[in-house]
A and B are shown apart, each in its own frame.
Chain A
Amino acid sequence: MPETYKPIKLSRGKKVAFLMGNEACSVAALHAGCRFYAGYPITPSSEVAAVMALKLPQYGGAFMQMEDEISSIAAVIGAAMTGVKAMTATSGPGFSLKQENIGYACLCEVPCVIVNVQRGGPSTGLPTQASQSDVMQAKWGTHGDHPIVALAPSTVAEIYEYTIQAFNISEMYRTPVILLLDEVLSHLRERLEIPPLDDTEKRLVNRKTPTVKPKDFKPYDTAFGDVPPMAAFGSGYRFHTTGLIHDEAGFPTERSDEIVPLLERINRKIKSDDPKLTFWREFYTDDMTSLVISYGASARVTKRAVELARKQGKKIGMLHLITLWPSPERLLARLVRKVKKVFVVEMNMGQYILEVQRFAGDSVKVKPVNRIDGRLFEPADVLKEIVK
């Protein structure tokens, strides 16, 4: 960030706070180095913007409330082009509106973080109630073949942790990262232990910047691997950025020998099961005869249901996914093929179950456990289904 905005002196030690999910998300973004936020008011993500408006200037960053959802993501991408870490937050209807520019960030390889606090849909849906029905939209919402990373935390502490990871991944791979929260988590207050800022800053990742002379610089130079170094506007490197299919120098092209390598590279750089972006937990998977898969707020309830089932002597294991996209293919295949029956617990009509089914042969039954009325599951609801 240039010196235009002056940060105040912040205390840097370990802290303990009692925070709402949305508040933890904003604080984590600030600690991850986010210095630009643009957003448009939408329930249930409002607190993310409110905290950013309050705190960003203190960190030497800039907050903008834009005129709509589309301009919010546009401003975030614009800011990211100047070398700044940037974020926006929204919910279902706003996430729909942002899709075109998310595709722009995918193709132009602009690091940024998009928080989607999911609420019931379709359309205006259930603005104040929870849902996990944007899981497929996170992957397929924008047009064209593109890679995406989506993380789904399940506690306030995880929101803090994976917001930082979201920024790290976005910088590491020059990609937009979607943080999928939901209304329950976002408004849930929990105790949060915040590590000293020095410790957090040590593990932050910043995008690679070019080392070549400006005249030799190409913004998509594959000589540096699948993730090319990224120059900031105003840093002495002059280059073109376009949402058209472009060559390594960043200029529009219609040549087959330039189109194909670009599309293959941007899709190749985000790899399934890449340990740097794949996060999950397994419980009781050693001796399991059936497996329950869940993520986000549903995973908390599922964990309790699995523990209750274990007390009844049922050999049920659990896979708690945090990285939903790219789907961890080897992990899913390994666990799903161990059992005869798999349950996928999610607050939608069955979305991630489609991914799980890709890895289940004919011998594995994959059953949905769904809730779509805007309320979180009760452990008993899940238990009843998985011990049937």
Chain B
Amino acid sequence: METEKKLRLIPNPVHMYLRPHKKFPHIWCPGCSDGITAGSMIRAIDKLKISRDELVMVSGIGCASRLPVYFDFCSLHTTHGRPIAFASGVKMANPKLKVVVVTGDGDATAIGGNHFIHACRRNLDLTVILFNNNVYGMTGGQYSPTTPKRAYAATAPYGNYEPSFNIPKLAIAAGATFVARGTASNARQLESLIAQALQHKGLALVEVLSICPSVFSFYNKCGNGAQMLTQLKDTTITVEKANELRAKGETVEKWEIGILHKEENIDEFSAYYAEHAGKDRTPFSMHMSTLDL
């Protein structure tokens, strides 16, 4: 009883950021891990004391992309696959804003794959939180670019024939300067990874390994949310532990979680543009460059 009373007295920062009216019950299914990730995000934002008025949350289409509606920031729920493109416009037009993109595996690496790699290349200061649940949940369980080969889906009734993306590798190859992977089964580590991503100057990606106990589990018989989270825990290993194992000559066959890649001293795009554009001289004497217009 005493413990319960004490727990109730601990203020939950997440509650202070909720939009109170008409949003609940939320759209996520029982057992979904998106709420855990949302909690980690909000606690990270709260810990860093980022002003609510200066944070813009941009999302695309999908289960995860419904997140911004629940939280009291400026939020832009955009079209399928395009949140990073919308966010680029927000950031370039007002570089003082902190811009967070909430997206999913289908949204960011299928329909929005082009925007994703180019945002990584540009190194614009966006924090991309990518919820990877290996499936298109909202539309009923079709296979996504991260559905494992041979896993079942609404559109893979014989098992998925396609190989899948390793999203952090894709981001690193494309030039992202901060790449991390967390899981919904480790909310504390996820919170810390998101906090570090938010502090990074440049494109920061946090892939969040997530679960879909509704449709993914329906086709692949993975059990309920709690069972899927346990499986997630068992199939992941921290980067530090993985490195120790490798040092001992052992092979690592689990998903590595933690900071996978970090580069400082790479120009952030909006700052570089502000520093150079209009001040550099063009060597070209074009018709328009000679005109006082």
Contact = CB atoms under 8 A, between A and B. Distances in A.
B278 A84 contact: no
Interface string A42-85: 00000000110011111010111011101110111111111110
Q: Chain A CB within 10 Å — which of B74, B96, B282 has the most?
A: B74
A23 interface: yes
Interface stretch (B86-94, B156-164, B250-258): B86-94
Nearest to B291: A17
B88 A66 contact: yes
Nearest to A61: B93
B274 to A, nearest CB: 5
Contacts of A2: 94-96
A101 B82 CA distance: 9
A79 B77 contact: no
B97 interface: yes
B76 A62 contact: no
A233 B277 contact: no
Contact of A78 (B93, B279, B288): B93
Interface of A: 1-2, 4-8, 10-11, 15, 17, 23, 27, 30, 35-36, 38, 50-51, 54-58, 60, 62-64, 66-68, 70-72, 74-84, 86, 100-101, 104, 194, 232-244, 247, 249, 251-252
Contacts of A30: 293
B218 interface: no
Given A5-B274, A251-B69, A243 B78 contact: yes
Contacts of B292: 10-11, 15
A78 B72 contact: no
B114 A79 contact: no
Interface of B: 19, 21-23, 52-54, 56, 58, 68-69, 72-79, 82, 84-97, 114-115, 118, 270, 273-274, 277-279, 282, 286-289, 291-293
A83 B53 CA distance: 14
21 contacts: A5-B274, A5-B278, A8-B278, A10-B292, A54-B288, A60-B278, A74-B82, A74-B85, A75-B85, A76-B89, A77-B89, A81-B76, A82-B90, A84-B93, A101-B79, A234-B97, A238-B73, A240-B69, A241-B77, A243-B77, A247-B22
Given A241-B77, A251-B23, 15 more contacts: A4-B94, A5-B273, A8-B278, A17-B293, A60-B278, A75-B88, A77-B78, A78-B58, A78-B76, A78-B87, A232-B94, A233-B90, A241-B75, A249-B21, A251-B22
Contacts of A75: 85-86, 88-89, 92
A78 B97 contact: no
A55 B270 CA distance: 17
Contacts of A35: 93
A73 to B, nearest CB: 8
Given A5-B278, A68-B114, A81 B90 contact: yes
B96 A4 contact: yes
A233 B75 CA distance: 9
Q: Chain A CB within 10 Å — which of B78, B118, B278 has the most?
A: B278
B68 A240 contact: yes
Contacts of B79: 74, 100-101, 104, 243
Contacts of B68: 240
**8 A-B pairs with least C-beta separation:** A78-B89, A57-B278, A75-B89, A71-B85, A74-B85, A79-B93, A57-B277, A242-B77
A15 B79 CA distance: 42
A36 B78 contact: no
B192 to A, nearest CB: 26
B69 A233 contact: no
B293 A55 contact: yes
A64 B88 contact: yes
Nearest to A62: B92
Contacts of B19: 240, 251
B21 A241 contact: no
B69 A104 contact: no
B288 A55 contact: yes
Given A241-B77, A251-B23, A71 B288 contact: no
B97 A70 contact: no
Nearest to A189: B287
B216 to A, nearest CB: 24
Contacts of B76: 78, 81, 233, 241
Contacts of A8: 278
Contacts of B56: 233-234
A324 to B, nearest CB: 26
B23 to A, nearest CB: 7
Contacts of B90: 78-79, 81-82, 233
B92 A79 contact: yes
A223 to B, nearest CB: 18
Given A62-B273, A251-B23, A78 B289 contact: no
A6 B19 CA distance: 37
B99 to A, nearest CB: 9
Contact of B53 (A15, A60, A77, A236): A236
B94 A84 contact: yes
Nearest to A255: B22
A233 B94 contact: yes
Contacts of A57: 273, 277-279
Contact of B278 (A58, A79, A232): A58
Given A11-B292, A101-B79, A244-B77, A82 B93 contact: yes
Contacts of A51: 288
Given A4-B270, A67-B114, A233-B90, A82 B293 contact: no
B237 to A, nearest CB: 35
B93 A242 contact: no
A71 B58 contact: no
B115 A194 contact: no
Contact of B86 (A62, A77, A84, A232): A77
Given A101-B79, A243-B79, A71 B114 contact: yes
A46 to B, nearest CB: 12
A55 B22 CA distance: 46
Contacts of A241: 75-77
A247 B22 CA distance: 11
B69 A62 contact: no
Q: Chain B CB within 10 Å — which of A5, A27, A36, A78 has the most?
A: A78
